[in-house]
Amino acid sequence: MSTDQFTLANTSDADVVSHEEKQTPQQSVQPLKRTEVWAWYIQGSTYCGYGWISAFMLVPVLIQDMASKYGVEASDHSIPCDTTVAGFKCVTNIFGHFVDPGAFSLYISSLGSILSFFVSLSISAVADHGSYRKSLLITFSAVGCLACLLFFTVQSPKHYWIAAVLSPIGWICYNICSVFAHSFLPVYGRVHPDVLAAVARGESKSVVRKLEEQAINDISAFGFTFANIGTILLYGICIGLTIWMHGNYMSLEIAIAFTGVWWLMWIVIVAPWLDARPGPPMPKGQNWIVYSWKKTVRKLPEIFKFIVAWFILSDGINTITAILFVILYRDLAFSHLTSLYVSALLAFTAGLGSHVFMTIRRMWKLSTMTMNMICLALYIVELVYLVGAPYFTTSFGLRNVWEGWFFMAYNGFIISTFFGSCRVMLSELCPPGDESEWFSLYLLADKGSSCKDNVLFSDIFDIKDVDGAGKKFDKVSRINARSENYEMELTLDINNELYPLEIGEKFSLVLATSLSLTTAVGNDTSGTQESWREKVGGERTLADDYEYVMYGKVYKYDEGQGSKVSVYISYGGLLMCLEGDFRHLQSISLGENLYLLMRK
């Protein structure tokens, strides 16, 4: 804690003496410029063109085609594969194992996603600290463009392995650019002119937060619209190339190369207008690569549920689109050209859906969570049809060409809104200065906000001082500590006889509304506030996992300048002050009863 002081009470909340808080001046910020946000829209439309056209369709189709032509009949491995036969069934020898070419192509795409996560998280600290975010965006765009050009080296079916090697490289560059580009979004929300004006007027944190959410939603929605427009333009060019070259494999390679050149060209063009928006300096003595991993490992217990939920949802939705492409190409005999047509339809309906849902959200003032629930409901309708129809009829359930067209358009109409709402949700959860690290975790699953439960706050603290102003009472020590993840300042009175702590020690601290492992009480004061004294039989509670537990009441909630707030809790006269960014404390309410749980 800085210079904040409060007086120890003896035994009750009535003895609490309020303190005078010294505010720090608000850090100056450069408001978001119109040219800057337009540059961000354009760069997003360029790398998305590679991702949606080449990474999602052209490269997997090229790998599948080349591997099939190099393969053998599935029923007789002595007969070379004849890809001109309708409904051919072939396998390819991959390291001594015969694998379906379509499955091999999907495995390569999955490998690219996994490698992308590890690489992006390893370098995310470089992007979050200092002014390297924009330069790294340009660097990986250049590497991605080079990888696209190298697809020209795939000159025959036996070179399918070259495409399989280049595919993950392209995935890594595309996804890292996606992480760095997405990481601008929460920054733009905080420096949006409407948000800064509200802060200058002294509006409450809830008003500022609402304006920030609105700004991020609008920027995200328009970003997806521009991405879809750029992708449709690229589709038109790729379709023209395919028609001109009669759909042979060289047309695929030229189209892939063009998406790479388009990607790099526009990044370079808009770079002068894209502000680097530098982050805080890297803490002294930290390794650039190891820093993000160490920090993320500490955070995983708090965000584990978010990662798991997002992984299941996004992976399932991406799998729907990927499997649709496989079915259209293999079972419904869509050609390369027809596949491009249907992909262009997907991009067009994605842009249309993004605009329609944005209008609906504004008209009815719907929250980000509500938009996600609407999208998930629409996906459930689709899955019910695709899974249920084949059980009742042999005429429907992706057995007709028109169904393929319809469901591609249907998925496109939903997908932009779903992923846009999810990245807005992550932007709202993202701590300032950790944008790239958080969107690297988003990337792990991409290839919401969580429901409120008992735990309102959790972090790891490093003790900086013990009884710095002198010891006031026997058996009571006042500790000053700083959190490692959210950079919160803590002043806390503890019973040093029951739980001694020393300078330099670390401990985990949790604030919870209940000790129950099954019942989320939240802010509902009518709910049952369970404690360790009410355990029966072999019942387990949250307290079983901690060493020191107290129960108290929030008696003061101060809003400081900028985004800082201070929360004060009295535990029968032992006081606590927790100060930091309001995003991490906004779930705590004045007058609320909370448990404090600690363990070393």
pLDDT in tens, 167-194: 999 988 887 888 778 778 778 888 889 8
Alpha-carbon distance of 508 to 540, in angstroms, equals 20
CA 14 vs CA 254, 556, 595: distances in Å: 77, 13, 19
Residue 28: Cβ within 10 Å count: 5
Q: What is the pLDDT of residue 478?
A: 92
Which among 571, 581, 524 is positioned nearest to 186, based on CA atoms? 581
pLDDT of residue 26: 38
- What single-letter DSSP state applies at residue 79? S
Are the beta carbons of 30 and 191 closer than 8 angstroms? yes
**Minimal CA–CA distance to 466: which of 439, 445, 496, 441?**
496
State the pLDDT confidence band at 148, using cuts at 50, 70 and 90. very high
pLDDT at 286 (0 to 100): 63
Q: How far apart are CA 577 and CA 575, in angstroms?
A: 7
Is 34-277+290-446 in CATH node 1.10.3720.10?
no
In this prediction, residue 234 carries a pLDDT of 84
Q: Which CATH architecture has domain 452-599?
A: Beta Barrel (2.40)
pLDDT digits (tens, 9 = 90+) for 192-229: 898 888 888 887 777 787 788 788 878 877 887 788 78
pLDDT for 23 equals 32
Q: 586: helix, coil or strand?
A: coil
Distance (Å, whole) CA 204 – CA 210: 10
Instruction: Select, from the ranges 326-340, 489-503, 582-596, the one with the highest average predicted confidence (pLDDT).
Output: 489-503
Q: What is the mean pLDDT of residues 484-497?
A: 87
Asked whether the beta carbons of 192 and 211 are under 8 A apart, the reply is: yes
What integer pLDDT is reported at residue 296 of this predicted model? 52
Residues 333-363: pLDDT tens digits?
677 677 778 877 887 888 788 778 878 887 8
The fraction of the chain above a pLDDT of 90, given in percent, is 14
Q: Looking at the predicted structure, is the pLDDT value of residue 67 above 80?
A: yes
Least confident of 70-84, 245-259, 511-525, 539-553: 511-525
In sequence order, what E strands does 166-285 have? none
What are the residue ranges spanned by the domains of the chain? 34-277+290-446, 452-599
Residue 464's pLDDT is what?
92
Q: Which range has highest mean pLDDT (120-129, 272-281, 475-484)?
A: 475-484
More confident residue, 476 or 178: 476
Q: Which of 169-178, 242-251, 352-361, 466-475 has the lowest mean pLDDT?
A: 242-251
> Which range, 131-145, 280-294, 328-342, 351-365, is most confident?
131-145
Mean of the per-residue pLDDT values of the chain: 76
Higher-confidence position of 409 and 121: 409
pLDDT given at position 9: 40
Strand partners, 599: 508
> What pLDDT band is residue 8 in, cutting at 50, 70 and 90?
very low
Tell me how far apart the alpha carbons of residues 470 and 378 are, in angstroms, rounded to a whole number. 62
Distance in angstroms (rounded) separating the CA atoms of residues 271 and 372: 33
Q: Is there a common fold for 34-277+290-446 and 452-599?
A: no
